[in-house]
Structure 1
Amino acid sequence: MKKLIVISSILSLTMIALVGCEEDNGIYGSGGSNKITLTSFANSYDSQVNATAIARIDESYRTGAREIRIKNLVNNYSNQSLNTLDKTILANNFEGQLENKNIEVNGRTVKRPIYEKNTNNKSSYEITYKNLDLSGVKADSYLAGNTVSDSRGIITGLNHYPKIPTTLAFPAGSVCYIPVVTSERAFLAFNEKDKTGYSVLDKWIDAAEARFDDKRGYSTSQFGVGADNKQNAAQVTFFAYKNQPAYQYNGVEYNTSIYEADYVAKGSSNPNTNSFRGVVDCTIVNEVAADFLEREIKRYY
């Protein structure tokens, strides 16, 4: 799975989608009162009408539970992701599970421990969502430069759905959430939805290195992960090119299959929150901003 390095986005560790239906709800875990709801919008291809489908995805965490609501806005959104939070975690001399239990929510921080396989040991992993006021922000609040370093502003759903008039602005009370990830260790995370059709890691590497047909440079590294570092893994990083950001792809061999994985670095991420210094990714929003985007997407798409 690719990782957008320059512009942070919600990690797929926190985004799980269901096979399309009009509105699908899933609640996992139990109990709790402290709650945060994160809303994003996603596209897929609707083969029944040969057109793009658009959905609103509301993801709520509360202590001990997670709730997903997926609502079709345009056509029938579908995604082959499994409806589960559980992820296999592979790190340096470590194998574990990021499971759907013992979730803790404190304000805008969601904590989910990683449990080491066959032990009671656990490793800390959490996401804190910084907030940024979107009131009055329009599509022209983002200005693309000739290079990534030249780009400035706030990129929102208005930029992803250009049929919405550029004169429209987010209403008062609109907020976006910027995820700051903190992890005790660096790791790769994946589950069954990430299984590829490749038989060996070398074939996955060849395909990953060929994902762009322009002249951008890339680097490839191979390393061991898991218990005794017996699992082979690879990371292919494409450097920033013109006004395109850097991308990172990760593959791992596990139980005779090849998976694409998310990579989480050790320590805390440092996403940009200053639109004068660079690009701020504001694609995760609160209910006020989400209701506005839903209304305009339905109107213009």
Structure 2
Amino acid sequence: MKINKLYAGIALASTMILTGCGDDNEVGPTVNNELDYTVFDPFTDMSNDEYQDGWGKLAYKLSNNGLIQTISTVVGSSPTAYQNSRSDDDELEYYAGKNAFAAVPENFDSKFYKINFVDSDTFTLKVQSNNSTFNSTYDIATLDLTGVGKQPRNATTGIDTDLDYFPDGFNATFPSGSQCYIFLETPNQTFYTFSEDEDEGSMTIDEWITNQQEWYTVTNVVKEYVGLNNELPAVRYTDEDGDIIAAIRYNGLIYSASYSQEGIQEKENTDPGVSEVYCNQYNDVATKFLETQIKANY
């Protein structure tokens, strides 16, 4: 589980606070080592034998005690329509590094995940299983959503929020005090992560590379072995956008993977004045606004 996937005037003039920079005078978004935020999830609901748009709500409480998730339905055919639409399967996520391997549930379980707030805008995450541990530090970037509305379709800068799903002509904007959060991970060690449901079939690493070369620019190919006994073939390359694309062969199958490098913060834009930023992890003010607008428009 990645916490980031934890499973976020107007936009160009928005104030951005990049926290976790070591300034003791800065005040981060957490209170008493606890961060509350909400994610909304549009889904397709069935009512009277017809499909209709619905919205689910996932409220999170992140603290040193772990991560608590509360799921509810904002709009749907019943008060539990969204909950019913979600799979009960608890998929596994895998972490693999040199002489290290962990298989953990994607849904947060404090047996496998340990959180510790370093300060008001920085926390550490330790993933542990199979006598292996993987450690990362997360900085919380806070974006001001005051005055931000639905983005134009051709927007190249600004903040993209869930208002993007709203009908054409929607023109309400977030009220003063609205914020959203982006979690930026810096791994304390190098590792790959992949999920149980992301296999690409039975093939070798070389066959996977050949398939990639048919569609993408493949440069700087690196092959290596990772896992508890370094028994798992892994590969990564750099694509035409400068992004690292990776894969791991596990139990005879190739899995699409993410590559995390020790000491390198994950590549994610957080400056809406430079390019469009996607942010969907909302504070209480933004959550109330979105919930009101969803009920009024769906």
Query: For 1:134-163, what per-residue CA distance to the aligned partner results, in whole angstroms no more than 9, with x for missing partners?
Result: 1111124x6736xxxxx211111112x131
Matches within 5 A, 1:113-192: 113-115=126-128, 117-118=130-131, 122-140=133-151, 144=154, 151-159=156-164, 161-163=165-167, 165-192=169-196
Aligned to 1:264: 260
Q: CA RMSD in A?
A: 3.7
Contact 1:38 1:286 in 2 (8 A): yes
SS in 2 for 1:102: strand
Select between 167-176 and 252-261 the one with higher mean Cα deviation.
Answer: 252-261
Aligned to 2:17: none
Q: Are 2:125 and 1:112 equivalent residues in the alignment?
A: yes
Q: TM-score, normalised by structure 2?
A: 0.69
Aligned to 1:26: none
Change (3 A) 1:40 1:219: farther
Matches within 5 A, 1:146-295: 151-159=156-164, 161-163=165-167, 165-192=169-196, 194=197, 196=199, 198-201=201-204, 205=208, 209=212, 217-219=216-218, 221=221, 222-235=223-236, 239=240, 250-267=246-263, 268-269=265-266, 271-295=268-292
Identity of aligned residues (%): 25
Contact 1:64 1:101 in 2 (8 A): no
Q: Which has the larger radius of gyration?
A: 2
Aligned to 2:35: 36
Contact 1:114 1:123 in 2 (8 A): yes
SS in 1 for 2:287: helix
Residue 109 of structure 1: how far off its partner (Å): 2.6
SS in 2 for 1:112: strand
Residue 255 of structure 1: how far off its partner (Å): 3.6
Instruction: Give the residue type in structure 2 aligned to 1:43.
Output: P
Aligned to 1:299: 296
Aligned to 1:57: 58
SS in 1 for 2:218: strand
Instruction: Give the residue type in structure 1 aligned to 2:248.
Output: V
Residue 297 of structure 1: how far off its partner (Å): 1.8
Query: For 1:238-278, what per-residue CA distance to the aligned partner results, in whole angstroms no more than 9, with x for missing partners?
Result: 645xxxxx887644332445544444343223533322222
Aligned to 2:11: none
Contact 1:153 1:275 in 2 (8 A): yes
SS in 2 for 1:271: coil
| Number of aligned positions between the proteins | 256
Distance in 2 (alpha carbons) for counterparts of 1:263 and 1:82: 25
Unaligned runs of 5+ in 1: 2-8, 16-32, 146-150, 241-245
SS in 1 for 2:281: coil
Q: TM-score, normalised by structure 1?
A: 0.68
Contact 2:205 2:249 in 1 (8 A): no
Residue 44 of structure 1: how far off its partner (Å): 3.8
Matches within 5 A, 1:7-46: 11-12=4-5, 14-15=6-7, 34-46=33-45
Select between 46-55 and 281-290 the one with higher mean Cα deviation.
Answer: 46-55
Distance in 2 (alpha carbons) for counterparts of 1:49 and 1:296: 23
Query: For 1:77-128, what per-residue CA distance to the aligned partner results, in whole angstroms no more than 9, with x for missing partners?
Result: 33447458x7431023432356534321342333211337436xx4421222
Query: For 1:177-204, what per-residue CA distance to the aligned partner results, in whole angstroms no more than 9, with x for missing partners?
Result: 1221111123222454x25473345699
